[in-house]
């Protein structure tokens, strides 16, 4: 469940499984290439997580078909036909809870999340955006960047808050704009980096102590290195991601 850190689960047994996997739900509306990159990284053992549910608001989303091919649980929860946003989101939230999702990774999910849904998974919802935020939020970020004439763009994995592409930044990767780029070629090259950045971000959140300071997402690599050698202290000051930091 999306409770934060070991301090909130004092009754947890001391024998935390060495390979406890975080339970991740994916929300997508299209091809879901970032979902596939995340899943591939999990299957390779690079990210200590498993996908418990893939939700799409679009029945025909190609990403949903790929999820079925991979034997993952899927749910179509269409927003069309619902009387309002709240009704749709209640169904999404119910599905997430039934699946036992602890983390949500947005992978081309073309709907804004309400403050209620964000509040139900505080600091446990990730999104990826094809620019170096805070530059070029919103739609068509790659075309925005190309037209602006930047020489460096990239991608951003961030925690989701109630704003638009505005939550604390977890990972960014810079991608140079080449002289012979157009917006499409630039988007393709950024996408290749997205497929690395998203697994890297989730891996770091699950394996390295971190906390939010102001709006910075601060990782403590040293603490992570120590945690590999010794069990974490009983009253860890750090907010660690679930109990994935292993003693």
Query: What is the set of active-site residues?
Result: 129
Cα–Cα distance for residue pair 220/28, rounded to 1 Å? 31
Residue whose entry in the numeric block shows the structure tokens 């590999």: 228
Give the contacts of 170 (CB within 8 A, at least 6 positions apart). Answer: 126, 157, 158, 159, 201, 204, 205, 217
Q: Which is nearer to a second copy, 112 or 215 (CB)?
A: 215
Residue whose entry in the numeric block shows the structure tokens 């959140």: 205
Q: How far is the CB of 98 from a second copy (least distance, A)?
A: 34
Q: How far is the CB of 26 from a second copy (least distance, A)?
A: 23
Q: Which is nearer to a second copy, 72 or 135 (CB)?
A: 135
Q: Which is nearer to a second copy, 26 or 125 (CB)?
A: 125
Cα 208 from chain centre: 15
Cβ–Cβ < 8 Å for 153, 132: yes
Cα–Cα distance for residue pair 217/242, rounded to 1 Å? 16
Q: Which is nearer to a second copy, 17 or 214 (CB)?
A: 214
Q: How far is the CB of 192 from a second copy (least distance, A)?
A: 16
Q: How far is the CB of 48 from a second copy (least distance, A)?
A: 21
Q: Residue numbers of the site for a second copy (CB under 8 A)?
A: 132-136, 146-152, 154, 168-174, 176, 179, 214-221
């Amino acid at each position: 469940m999306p409770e934060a850190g070991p301090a909130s689960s004092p009754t947890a047994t001391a024998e935390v499984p060495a390979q406890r996997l975080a339970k991740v739900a994916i929300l997508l509306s299209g091809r879901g290439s970032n979902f596939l990159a995340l899943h591939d990284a999990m299957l390779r053992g690079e990210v200590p997580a498993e996908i418990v549910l893939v939700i799409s608001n679009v029945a025909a989303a190609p990403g949903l078909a790929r999820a079925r091919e991979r034997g993952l649980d899927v749910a179509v929860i269409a927003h069309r036909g619902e009387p309002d946003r709240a009704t749709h989101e209640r169904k999404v939230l119910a599905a997430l809870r039934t699946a036992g999702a602890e983390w949500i990774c947005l992978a081309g999910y073309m709907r804004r999340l309400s403050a209620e849904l964000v509040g139900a998974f505080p600091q446990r919802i990730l999104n990826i955006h094809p620019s170096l935020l805070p530059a070029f939020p919103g739609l068509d970020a790659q075309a925005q960047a190309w037209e602006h004439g930047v020489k460096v763009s990239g991608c951003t994995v961030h925690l989701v808050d109630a704003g638009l592409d505005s939550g604390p930044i977890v990972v960014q990767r810079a991608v140079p704009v080449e002289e012979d780029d157009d917006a499409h070629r630039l988007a393709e090259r950024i996408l290749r980096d997205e497929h690395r950045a998203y697994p890297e971000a989730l891996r770091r959140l699950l394996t390295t102590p971190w906390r939010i300071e102001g709006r910075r997402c601060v990782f403590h690599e040293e603490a992570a290195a120590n945690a590999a050698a010794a069990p974490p202290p009983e009253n860890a000051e750090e907010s660690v991601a679930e109990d994935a930091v292993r003693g």
